[in-house]
Chains A and B, each alone.
Chain A
Amino acid sequence: MHDLILSTIAGYLLPLITVYGAYVITHGHLSPGGGFAGGTIIAAGLILAALSWGFHHAEKVFNENSLGNLDTLGSSGYVLIGLVAVFRGSLFLTNLGAGFPSGTPGKLFSSGAVWLLGAAVGVKVAATVFGLVARIWSGGGASGEVDEP
């Protein structure tokens, strides 16, 4: 299933889509979007590329192993960032009160932990959505994985 037009266009689009997804993730605290929206955009780009080049190409980079690593990084990263506040003596998931730097409001590096949490969600969502499609494409795979949104 190789189509010249599809694979060429996908080659041009993949970096653009990925950069746009990264933009949406990193600007989640300033504009609409955020981790979930950006993560799905990146996953959509990867799925487009995998569909036009074949999933076996994607396997080289995003196989079950590396997707599992990214998944765990994102999801446990979220919980650990929440726990940082607990170790600093504030309530779970506290942001500025737990000493995360606030930065300049309106600039990219602002809003303390929200930025980090958005990035964790983005990594998690991109890996999970792509992993779901890849597994269903390859015939079901493991029977279902459950994630917190």
Chain B
Amino acid sequence: MAHGPALVIALPFLGAFVCGWMGSRRIGFARWGAVGTAAIHAFIALSLLSRVTRNGPLTYATGGWPAPLGIEVRVDILGAVVLTLLGCGATLILLFAQSHEPAELGRQAERWYWPLCLTLLGGMSGLVIAKDLFNLFVMAEICSIAACGIISVDSRPAALEASFKYLLLSAVGSGAVLLATAMLYSVTGYLDMDAISRALPAAAASFPRVTMGALALYLVGFGLKAALFPLHVWLPDAHSAAPSASSALLSGLVVKVYVVALARIGYQVWGPDLLWRSPAPYVMFWFSAGAMFFGSIVAIAQRDIKRLLAYSTIAQMGYIFFGLSLRSENAVAGALLHVFNHAVMKVCLFLAAGAMIARTGKRDLAGLSGIARSMPLTTAAFTIGALAMIGVPGTNGFISKWYVALGALDLGRPLYAVLVVASSLLSGAYYLPFVISAYFGPDPGHPRGREGPPAELAPIVILAAVCVLTGFLPRFPLQHMLEVAKSFFALR
């Protein structure tokens, strides 16, 4: 698997081209081709993970041209863990989608759905392992166009409107990212992350305003794409209007890769010393604190289950940014762990919600009361995901929130830890009423209310099991993330 870094990008794209081409002839080929490609991607990602944890980061010079002349990709531990998350997550989501989406989308739209999902997977993989800032920009663009595509693929008016809004705002974000990349290039003369990070201290001393402007533009650009609080306006519409499997992909995986990109730029390119000499972490801190409360409070008022989950994503992205903006190894490790954990639980919740909506035809919380009697397994998985969101001990959400709070205590700011706890209690205020009404509420007589087919149920149950497993045995992801956080702070 020496070629793994190139294959995880090239294979999904090749799969997308072939699935798009076969889609008009044999739709079944495109369906299973997409699942198969994602499964191969997951396998390569897993083997990369085992290699990287044993032998250290793997750098791959495309075309045999090493940096700074050529374009390199690098799989470090963070990259390998997120790649594994992307591969396994996409496989489960697509497995769910191939039994669920044909009915929801219709034949004509379905043809484009599978290639778009694979393009998105390829773009996300490229984004998390790119070592070249321009490559980062290109991959981010591929992601955002493909993401808009999977929202609007079935041409429902609400989805079209949401997708248009998302496309325009992410174009603003990309403009900011490209401008920032150009500014860094103009003062350092490199596009390669390592080379820039070596040249940056000198450049920051002679051109402080240019480097500061570039950092601000990166924060705005990737913050917009990752729905950091005041820039989140596109997310609730986009994530709730999309088809169910798309919502899971977007909310679980897509917003996360931009966080990883921002973390790389902040910690690997700028480095902690330069970063904390700029106002960027402080800005991020207040924005994310706002996100944790705003997202939760607005979510309480929601009546639609998918909108509730979308606002909860804004709140949970708040935790991730909150942890990243604290200068403490534990907090950063907690934030990166929450990238992983939130992806697992949000995908589980969105898939479970999708299954409930498909069986009952209802999207509002009141209409879904008593659902546990007709769909016990799906509701149980939803409950586990919801408990993990709240951060109940024994679930994976507890571990990551614990480490973020621990980081706040390391800094000697117990008030910050109180913020984390208070926001967790708020998320209980909108998840628990639904869970209680699902078990004990009146059953309005769900006519078609049965469990979904095995291919639909299996991904939901597996993800719920992962939530509990990493809650009791957090060693595997936690150890890696602590190592990543240590390497972030050890730079220079």
Q: Which A positions have Cβ atoms within 8 angstroms of B? A: 64-65, 68-69, 71-72, 75-76, 79-80, 82-83, 85-86, 90-95, 97, 142-146, 148-149
Residue of A nearest to B21 (CB): A72
Chain A CB within 8 A of B44 CB = no
Q: How far is the CB of A60 from chain B (nearest CB, A)?
A: 18
In the complex, what distance in Å separates the CA atom of A85 from the CA atom of B64? 10
19 A-B interface contacts by CB (under 8 A):
A68-B21, A72-B21, A75-B17, A76-B17, A79-B13, A79-B17, A82-B6, A83-B10, A86-B6, A91-B6, A92-B6, A92-B60, A92-B63, A145-B20, A145-B149, A146-B119, A146-B142, A146-B149, A148-B13
In the complex, what distance in Å separates the CA atom of A44 from the CA atom of B60? 38
Complex partner residue of B142 from A79, A93, A143, A148, CB under 8 angstroms = A148
Given contacts A86-B3, A92-B3, A92-B10, is CB(A144)–CB(B149) below 8 Å? yes
Residue of B nearest to A69 (CB): B21
Q: Which B positions have Cβ atoms within 8 angstroms of A? A: 3, 6-7, 10, 13-14, 17-18, 20-21, 24, 60-64, 108-109, 111-112, 116, 119, 138, 142, 145-146, 148-149, 152-153, 155
Q: Return chain A residues, CB-CB under 8 Å to B148.
A: 144
Pair B6/A68 contact, Cβ less than 8 Å? no
Q: How far is the CB of B148 from chain A (nearest CB, A)?
A: 7
Pair A91/B3 contact, Cβ less than 8 Å? yes
In the complex, what distance in Å separates the CA atom of A34 from the CA atom of B64? 22
Pair A143/B21 contact, Cβ less than 8 Å? no
Other contacts beyond A68-B20, A76-B17, A142-B111: 5, CB < 8 A? A91-B61, A91-B62, A93-B63, A143-B112, A148-B142
In the complex, what distance in Å separates the CA atom of A106 from the CA atom of B149? 43
Q: How far is the CB of A111 from chain B (nearest CB, A)?
A: 13
Q: Return chain A residues, CB-CB under 8 Å to B155.
A: 143
Main secondary structure on B side of the interface with A: helix
Indicate the member of A83, A94, A145, A148 with the most B CB atoms within 10 Å: A148
Q: Return chain A residues, CB-CB under 8 Å to B20.
A: 68, 71-72, 145
Indicate the member of B10, B60, B146, B153 with the most A CB atoms within 10 Å: B10
Q: How far is the CB of A131 from chain B (nearest CB, A)?
A: 12
In the complex, what distance in Å separates the CA atom of A146 from the CA atom of B13? 11
Residue of A nearest to B23 (CB): A68
In the complex, what distance in Å separates the CA atom of A72 from the CA atom of B146? 17
Pair B18/A76 contact, Cβ less than 8 Å? yes
Pair B62/A68 contact, Cβ less than 8 Å? no
Q: Return chain B residues, CB-CB under 8 Å to A145.
A: 20, 112, 149
Q: How far is the CB of B137 from chain A (nearest CB, A)?
A: 12
In the complex, what distance in Å separates the CA atom of A97 from the CA atom of B10? 20
Pair A143/B63 contact, Cβ less than 8 Å? no
Q: Return chain B residues, CB-CB under 8 Å to A142.
A: 108, 111-112
Given contacts A72-B20, A76-B14, A145-B112, is CB(A90)–CB(B142) below 8 Å? no
In the complex, what distance in Å separates the CA atom of A75 from the CA atom of B14? 8
Indicate the member of A64, A72, A91 with the most B CB atoms within 10 Å: A91
Q: How far is the CB of B411 from chain A (nearest CB, A)?
A: 43
Q: Return chain B residues, CB-CB under 8 Å to A97.
A: 64
Q: Return chain B residues, CB-CB under 8 Å to A143.
A: 109, 112, 149, 152-153, 155
In the complex, what distance in Å separates the CA atom of A149 from the CA atom of B116? 15
Residue of B nearest to A97 (CB): B64
Complex partner residue of B17 from A72, A85, A86, A91, CB under 8 angstroms = A72
In the complex, what distance in Å separates the CA atom of A97 from the CA atom of B61? 13
Q: Return chain A residues, CB-CB under 8 Å to B6.
A: 82, 86, 91-93
Residue of A nearest to B167 (CB): A144
In the complex, what distance in Å separates the CA atom of A83 from the CA atom of B438? 51
Q: How far is the CB of A72 from chain B (nearest CB, A)?
A: 4
